[in-house]
Amino acid sequence: MITKLLCLIMMVAGTGAVAAQQTRPKALSGRPTRYKLVWADEFNYNGVPDAQKWSYDSGHGNDGWGNQEWQDYKAGDTSTTYVSNGLLRIQANRTITGTDTVFTSARLKTKQKASWKYGKIEVRAKTAYGLGVCSAIWMMPADDQKNGGWPFCGEIDIMEHIGWESHKDSIFQTVHTGAYNHLKKTQKGMRTYIPRSWQTFHSYVLEWTPEGIDYFIDGLHRYHFPNEHKTMEEWPFDTAFYLIMNISVGGQWEGAFGIDPAIFPAAMFVDYVRVYQMPDHYSN
C-alpha cells in the first residue's frame, strides 16, 4: 500500500514479482497447532469501532499517503466506519459540493493499541467493488521508521483488491522489504483468482514465524516467503507489527485507469479479525 507505481505493479510475472496463480492450490500439512487466540474483534456491537482496539489515520497524508491517493480519511465518522449486524463496514464516499468533488474513507489501525511479533492473523471479509478503489488488510511495524523507514522496515499485505477490469477477480498478497519491493520490481507474493470477492466473504490468513511468512485464502495455501537468514534487507520481520484495514481511492495503482463515479458508496465488510500466537511467542 505504500507507493504503488504503475509501471512496477504486480501484473509482472517474473523473478521475484507477484505472479498470477494458475495451478490448483494445496493445503499444507504439518501446520503449527499450538496457536492460542490472543486478540480479536468479532464486531458483535453497534456503533463506531471499539476505541480500545482501533485508532485511525486521518486526512490526506503526505502526497496522498505516498501514492497520490484522493481520499480524505475520517476518524470516528459513522459515514465511513460503522459496526452493525455483526459486521464492520469501511466505506468510501463521493460528495459533490458545487464544482468540488470530495472522496472520504477510513483507515483503521491497531497502532499503539496492539501489535504482534509472529502469529496467525485471520480476517474474514468482503472487498469493496469498483474501478478506482482498493480494499486492503495489511501490516506495518510498530516502529515504522525502523531500519530507515519504508521499504526497509518491511510491509506485510494480507489482502489487497483493486477494481481494474483485468484484475477485479484477483486478490494480491505481498511482502515488501529493502531487498524485495515494487520499486525494484522484486516484491514477493501471489496474485490469486478469487471471483467476485465483493459478493462473498472469504478468509484471508497470514501465518508468520521466525522462519517465514505464509499466506492462505479460505484455508488453502497460496504463497510462502522464507527467511533466508541473510540481512535485514531480506527479512526485517523479527519485530512487532500492527494491523491496518482501509479503502483508498485513486492514486498511482488503484486509480491508474480512472475512478468510476457510479460505484460510490463503495464498502468493504469485515466479519471478524482474530490474532493467534504460539505460547513461546506471546512476548513481543
Grid coordinates representing 251? 492514486
Predicted pLDDT at 20: 38
Fold assignment, 33-281: Jelly Rolls (2.60.120)
168 phi and psi angles, rounded to 5 deg: -65, -20
pLDDT at 2 over 60: no
pLDDT interval class at 282 (50, 70, 90): low
- How many whole angstroms from its chain centre is CA 176? 12
Find the mean pLDDT for residues 152-177: 94
Q: Where are the domains of the chain?
A: 33-281
Query: In the predicted model, what is the mean pLDDT of the chain?
Result: 88
Average pLDDT over residues 162-170: 89
Count Cβ neighbours within 10 Å for each residue of 224-246 and write b for 16 or more, e otherwise.
ebeeeeeebebbbbebebbbbbb
Note the pLDDT of residue 279. 86
Q: Quick: pLDDT tens for 30-45.
A: 455 789 999 999 999 9
Enzyme catalytic residues: 155, 160
The pTM score is 0.89
What percent of the chain stands above pLDDT 90?
A: 73
In this prediction, residue 165 has a pLDDT band, given cuts at 50, 70 and 90, of: confident
CB neighbours (10 Å) of residue 269? 20
**pLDDT at position 167, please?**
87
Average pLDDT of 19-25? 40
